[in-house]
Chain A
Amino acid sequence: MQTIPIEHGLILASILFSLGLIGVLTRRNVIFVLMSLEVMLNATGLAFIVASSRWGHAEGQVMFLVILTLAAAEVAIGLGLIIQMYRRHQTVDISVLSEMKG
């Protein structure tokens, strides 16, 4: 049986997480920000799966399931907020929200 060095899996998760972080910090379109958040959550799930595969346990997959539920709920609410924002400001530019008062 061939083996995979565990640090390669974790390095991949870190790279994906950092790419998602760059996306969250740099994009101004709020839909892109939400998509980058998805990338970050997905990278976290990958780290869990790699770690559970290290011991051959199923706990990592359970945690992945929890992350999946979290991502689904987060996207539903986030997209609802985006729709509401577009109705009020006719734009998806995230810097418009900095003018929000109180």
Chain B
Amino acid sequence: MIILFYIAAIVAVISTLCVILQSNIVHALIYLILSLLAVAVIFYVLGAPFAAMLEAIVYAGAIMVLFLFVIMMLNLGKISTDQERSWMKSSGWVAPGIMAAILLAQLLNVLGDYEYDLVPVEVGVMEVSTLLFGPYVLAVELASILLLAGLVSAYHLAKK
């Protein structure tokens, strides 16, 4: 089980790196799906099968299909790939890269002091749904209102 965690972690980091370095947008999207599925495997290993399932269905399924539809609709094609490649060559990524590296170093420094070996205990659907429809029922209602607002505004924005 533990080896699964590390393999999935390596796959996730490499495919995310491919996402931000890729110039072809559809390839980048496929790499992003791979990264999300790797994170879903990590969720499963950490004992959250419900979250892993949602990650695979909602993130890698629904949200990525939404991206794919928009990419197909805009029909960017080869010109956009070439344009993307010329944008990548500019040295604009050096300063943000250094800043993000500094942030990462700080995070790693903070996390280095914290040592705890976790034993993955499976927390199934029942525990999560008991919480969702018990103390967190307001969060569920707010989420539904948020989704409704998102639906209405997406319809309004994408309309001609």
Considering only residues 90-115 of chain B, those with a C-beta below 8 Å from chain A are 92-93, 96-97, 99-101, 103-104, 107-108, 111-112, 114-115
Q: What count of chain B residues pass the 8 Å CB interface test?
A: 85
Interface SS, B side = helix
Chain A residues positioned under 8 Å from B32 (CB to CB): 35, 38-39
Query: A80–B153 contact, CB under 8 A?
Result: yes
Query: A32–B46 contact, CB under 8 A?
Result: no
Query: A21–B67 contact, CB under 8 A?
Result: no
A81 sits at the interface (CB 8 A)? yes
Chain B residues positioned under 8 Å from A66 (CB to CB): 139, 143
Q: Residue on A with the closest CB to B96?
A: A25
B positions within 8 Å CB-CB of A? 1-2, 5-6, 9, 12-13, 16-17, 19-20, 25, 28-29, 32, 35-36, 39, 42-43, 45-48, 50-51, 54-55, 58-59, 62-63, 66-67, 70-71, 73-74, 76, 80, 83-84, 87, 92-93, 96-97, 99-101, 103-104, 107-108, 111-112, 114-121, 123, 127-128, 130-132, 136, 139, 143, 146-147, 149-151, 153-158, 160
Q: 14 more A-B contacts (CB under 8 A) besides A1-B119, A28-B87, A80-B153?
A: A5-B116, A12-B9, A12-B13, A14-B111, A21-B100, A29-B25, A42-B35, A52-B48, A53-B123, A58-B131, A62-B128, A64-B51, A71-B59, A71-B63
